[in-house]
Structure 1
Amino acid sequence: MRYRKMNKIDVTVSSLGFGAMRLPTLGSDSQIDEPKAIELIRYAIDHGVNYVDTAYGYHGGQSEILVGKALKDGYRDKTYLATKLPVWFVNKKEDMDRLLNEQLKKLDTDHIDFYLLHALNRESWQKVYNLGVLEWGERMKEKNLIRFFGFSFHDDLDTFKKIIDAYDWDFCQIQYNYMDVDYQAGREGLLYAYNKGINVVVMEPLRGGRLARPPKDVMDLINSYKIKRSPVEWALLWLWNHKEISTVLSGMSTLEQVKENIEIADKAEVGILSQEELEFVEKLRLAFLGRKAIDCTQCGYCMPCPYGVNIPRNFFLYNEGIRYDDWGAPRWEYNYSMREEERASNCQECGVCETKCPQQLPIRELLKKVHEALAQK
């Protein structure tokens, strides 16, 4: 295992962190296979991982309880523990104390090392900021209930910069991988935080596992390269090549995954990839990007739809399914996250959007294709 010293704070973390959101289960997401999950976490710690990340809502609220059990028998003293305040449950100041106390009890610990405001976006940030969350965080640090204060993030770059500039954060957590260099905080956000002395933890290094299971044409490209590495190794080494990244979280659900990631992490040095190898990873990124069936540039000129259909988002989800040959996440968002009026199925075929599209796409016909692919089967 390789380690990296964090900025400003006297902490050295393992390059690989254990993300406890994809633990082995017995069926439903909230039924964690306790013996197997504890085995994974302890194996990782025994082999050098010293950063374990969980959250209030992971595995239907059971992840924190499981992590607390896994860190008994002396493992808590070997580990930096991270969890997150579910800001969607914070509606008054008292909620912050109540939720933190509940988490301390679930984790069976007297303090949390790395405490994050979970999944901040523009609206949730403004809400908790107005409720005094920054002052509250300071008080919790003074009481030694939390050691370091940060946030995880899912929104656009401008919002990320505003949150970074609002406080002297100890760390932040962003989604980042070789496909997401221009997504959410992206590469620019990574550099922005680092240059302000804020430590960066990376989540979704394999984009929910999609980069570990590339479609055949991308896999053929990987296999044809002179240096033989697995898709996982290319993705992780690309991240660890960055000096700006403190640790990379991986949600591991099998012992084989833990062993593979630990083996790769032993190579986790800044500059591990040559310029030629970095150019090859860029070829992989472009190969993925080239796999899209709808040539939508996401310009948004077709919006607003008179009936509320989110045309760019529908096309984005369809292209994601094609790009990674994985329809699970796009179908879930289409059926359970998007409002009904936003879905492709709500198209009334008025044709207004087609008069505005610079690409001259047959939007009405394409929306039918999107609904056919993404509707709940």
Structure 2
Amino acid sequence: MNRREFLEATLALMLSSEALAANKPAATRDVPRRKLGRTGEQVSCIGLGGAHIGGQKQEAESIRIIRSALDAGINFLDNCWDYHDGQSEVRMGKALRDGYRNKAFLMTKIDGRDKKTAAAQIDESLERLQTDHLDLLQLHEVIHQDDPRRAFADGGAIEAMEEARKAGKARFLGFTGHKSPAMHLSMLEAASKHGFRFDAVQMPLNVMDAHFDSFEKRVLPVLVKEEIGVLGMKSLGGTFILESKTVSAPECLRYSLSLPVSVVITGMDSMARVEQALKVARGFKPYTEKEIQTLLARTEKAAQAGAFEKYKISTHFDGTTKHPEWMG
């Protein structure tokens, strides 16, 4: 897909509410919603990242951040069984009391590669999140060469995930990863061979990825073609992309939103970060082809060899590499 096709695909995901919102003052616009693949669901174009929830000193501040985001129209919540030793899920579960669960499209991830480990983690996540079902359940960190084989093996994690869906514990299923586009393609190939179709896939999509071992170039077109929901993450690369001094946070978010993604998941560890995300989402207009080329020209040199994408070239973000016991 070329840039023009990407822009057309992005526009196809955007709902009429975005066009209507353009006539409102930026501060009062609704957070735009987008289609989540073939699921029939509509999710906020910006999602709240769970890895940044659980690190606040006061639990009440975590709850305030989550509820403020939901009240403002951000309905997509990301989380994982292993974030902050489970505290991210615990705090999110408390935030979802008092009717807030009904406002959320709730996603979490599991690390277990075998059926028994995966099933136990699913149930533990449901208990922490204080809900009887997940809107989206994902296999976390497909970053190891044998992950596709282990996941789809007899007695593998996919069996536990499918059983969770049949039992009403999960509505949709997906997987995530940040290491290599080749691993994502291998996972999609394994799914096809087993007659399985993922509802969503999560991956890094940002101004640096476009230049180096690119998910945008290799995986994104496949997902768009197959109408699988695209969950963009690491739009700021943690904090590393901003350290390159080539782009601002709003530019990073706008770039990722200009791709044909259903949602861009971003860290909101403070109310200031919530407001930043809301401002970009409410005022969003896709970058033009010329604007994208200008931005990519500015970041090309810094992006060489993945210097600011530590998740691709190091184990900095690899939770399951540091804790293989999480996989079972």
TM-score (norm 1): 0.68
Partner of 1:23: 53
Partner of 1:169: 198
Q: 1:36 to 1:175 in 2, by over 3 A?
A: same
Q: Is the 8 A contact 1:15 1:268 kept in 2?
A: no
1:151 aligned to 163, 175, 187, which one? 175
1:240 aligns with 2:257: yes
Q: Is the 8 A contact 1:24 1:36 kept in 2?
A: no
How many Å separate the matches in 1 of 2:119 and 2:39?
25
Kindly name which structure, 1 or 2, has the bigger radius of gyration based on alpha carbons: 1
Give the superposition deviation at 1:278.
Answer: 1.0
Partner of 1:135: 159
Residues 139-288 of structure 1: pairs in structure 2 closer than 5 A: 139-165=163-189, 166=191, 167-181=196-210, 182-183=212-213, 185-215=215-245, 218=246, 231-242=248-259, 244-269=260-285, 272-288=286-302
How many Å separate the matches in 1 of 2:65 and 2:52?
11
1:63 aligns with 2:88: yes
Partner of 2:64: 39
Deviates more, 1:149-158 or 1:52-61: 149-158
Q: Is the 8 A contact 2:232 2:263 kept in 1?
A: yes
CA RMSD of aligned residues (A): 2.5
Partner of 1:14: 44
Give the superposition deviation at 1:149.
Answer: 0.3
How many Å separate the matches in 1 of 2:148 and 2:294?
38
Q: Is the 8 A contact 2:54 2:84 kept in 1?
A: no
Deviates more, 1:275-284 or 1:253-262: 275-284
Deviates more, 1:98-107 or 1:111-120: 98-107
Q: Which amino acid aligns with 2:188?
A: I
How many Å separate the matches in 2 of 1:153 and 1:8?
21
Match of 1:119, SS state, is coil
Q: 1:80 to 1:331 in 2, by over 3 A?
A: closer
Q: Which amino acid aligns with 1:283?
A: A
Match of 1:62, SS state, is helix
User: Relative CO higher for 1 or 2, CA cutoff 8 Å, sep ≥ 6?
Assistant: 2
How many Å separate the matches in 2 of 1:66 and 1:74?
15
Q: Which amino acid aligns with 2:203?
A: I
How many Å separate the matches in 2 of 1:70 and 1:164?
34
Give the superposition deviation at 1:268.
Answer: 3.0
Structure 1: which 5+ residue stretches go unaligned? 27-31, 223-230, 291-297, 299-315, 339-377
Q: 1:332 to 1:185 in 2, by over 3 A?
A: closer
Q: Is the 8 A contact 2:137 2:174 kept in 1?
A: yes
